[in-house]
A and B are shown apart, each in its own frame.
Chain A
Amino acid sequence: MIYALCFLLFMIGLYCTVVKKNMVKIVLGILVMEYAVNLFLILLGFRTKGVAPIIDRHALEGGQLTELFVNTSVDPLPQALVLTAIVISLGSLALIISVCIRIYNKYGTFDITQIRRLKG
Chain B
Amino acid sequence: MNIPLPLFVAVPLFAAFVLPIFGKKGKSAATFLANVVTLGLVAMAVSTLGRTAVYQIGRWPIPFGINLVLDGLSSLVLVAVTVVSAAAMLFSVRYMEQYTAKSKFLCLFMLMVAGMNGVVLSGDMFNLFVFIEIASLSSYALVAFGCEAEELEASFKYMVLGQIASLFILFAVAITYAQTGYLNMAYISQSVAASGMSKGLYFAVALFIVGFGLKAALVPFHAWLPDAHPSAPAPISAMLSGVLIKTLGVYALARVLFNVFGIFTLSDLHIEISWIIIGLAILSMITGAFLAFGQTDIKRLMAYSSVSQVGYIVLGLGLGGLIISKGLNPAWALLALLGGLFHLVNHSVYKSLLFLSSGSIQMSTGTRDMTQMGGLANKLPVTGTTATIASAAIAGVPPFSGFWSKLIIVIAAVQAHYYWIGAVVVFVSLCTLIMYLKLQKNVFLGELPENLKDITEQKGTMKISLIVLAVLCVVMGLLLLVPALKEGVLEPAAQSLASGAEYAVNVIQMAR
Interface residues of A (CB under 8 A from B): 10, 14, 17, 23, 26-27, 30, 33-34, 37, 40-41, 44, 77-78, 81, 84-85, 88, 91-92, 95-96, 99-100, 102-103, 106-107, 115-118, 120
Q: Given A30-B163, A85-B170, A95-B159, A78 and B137 touching (CB < 8 A)?
A: no
The segment out of B171-179, B310-318, B412-420, B459-467 that lies at the interface is B171-179
CA of A118 to CA of B227, assembled, Å? 7
Is B433 part of the binding interface, using a Cβ–Cβ cutoff of 8 Å? no
Q: Given A77-B183, A120-B294, A103 and B164 touching (CB < 8 A)?
A: no
Is B167 part of the binding interface, using a Cβ–Cβ cutoff of 8 Å? yes
Residues from chain B with Cβ under 8 Å of A117 in the complex:
149-150, 153
Residues from chain A with Cβ under 8 Å of B150 in the complex:
117-118
Is B490 part of the binding interface, using a Cβ–Cβ cutoff of 8 Å? no
Interface pair B178/A44, CB less than 8 Å apart? yes
Interface pair A44/B159, CB less than 8 Å apart? no
Q: Given A14-B164, A95-B137, A120 and B295 touching (CB < 8 A)?
A: yes
CA of A26 to CA of B161, assembled, Å? 11
Contact with A along B140-153 (1 / 0, CB 8 A): 11001001111011
Minimum CB–CB distance for A6 against chain B, Å: 9
Ordered by A's residue number, 11 sampled pairs between the chains whose C-beta atoms are within 8 Å are A27-B160, A34-B167, A37-B170, A44-B174, A77-B183, A85-B170, A95-B140, A96-B160, A100-B156, A117-B153, A120-B297
Interface pair A23/B171, CB less than 8 Å apart? no
Of the candidates B166, B167, B177, B294, which one forms a contact with A78 in the assembled complex, judged by CB atoms under 8 Å apart? B177
CA of A37 to CA of B164, assembled, Å? 11
Interface pair B152/A37, CB less than 8 Å apart? no
Residues from chain A with Cβ under 8 Å of B152 in the complex:
99, 102-103, 106
Q: Given A91-B137, A95-B137, A102-B147, A81 and B171 touching (CB < 8 A)?
A: no
Q: Given A91-B137, A107-B149, A99 and B156 touching (CB < 8 A)?
A: yes
Residues from chain A with Cβ under 8 Å of B300 in the complex:
120
Chain B contact residues: over half helix, strand or loop, or mixed? helix
Of the candidates A23, A44, A91, which one forms a contact with B177 in the assembled complex, judged by CB atoms under 8 Å apart? A44
In the complex, which residue of chain A has the Cβ closest to the Cβ of B292? A120
Q: Given A37-B174, A41-B174, A84-B130, A115 and B153 touching (CB < 8 A)?
A: yes
Q: Given A34-B167, A85-B170, A118 and B154 touching (CB < 8 A)?
A: yes
Residues from chain A with Cβ under 8 Å of B166 in the complex:
92
Residues from chain B with Cβ under 8 Å of A115 in the complex:
153
Interface pair B167/A92, CB less than 8 Å apart? no
Minimum CB–CB distance for B390 against chain A, Å: 22
Q: Given A40-B171, A95-B141, A30 and B160 touching (CB < 8 A)?
A: yes
Residues from chain A with Cβ under 8 Å of B226 in the complex:
120
Is B126 part of the binding interface, using a Cβ–Cβ cutoff of 8 Å? yes
CA of A33 to CA of B156, assembled, Å? 17
Residues from chain A with Cβ under 8 Å of B170 in the complex:
37, 85
Interface pair B164/A99, CB less than 8 Å apart? no
Interface pair B183/A88, CB less than 8 Å apart? no
In the complex, which residue of chain B has the Cβ closest to the Cβ of A41? B174
In the complex, which residue of chain A has the Cβ closest to the Cβ of B136? A92
Of the candidates B160, B167, B183, which one forms a contact with A37 in the assembled complex, judged by CB atoms under 8 Å apart? B167
Residues from chain B with Cβ under 8 Å of A96 in the complex:
140, 156, 159-160, 163
Residues from chain B with Cβ under 8 Å of A103 in the complex:
149, 152-153, 156
Residues from chain A with Cβ under 8 Å of B147 in the complex:
102
Is B155 part of the binding interface, using a Cβ–Cβ cutoff of 8 Å? yes
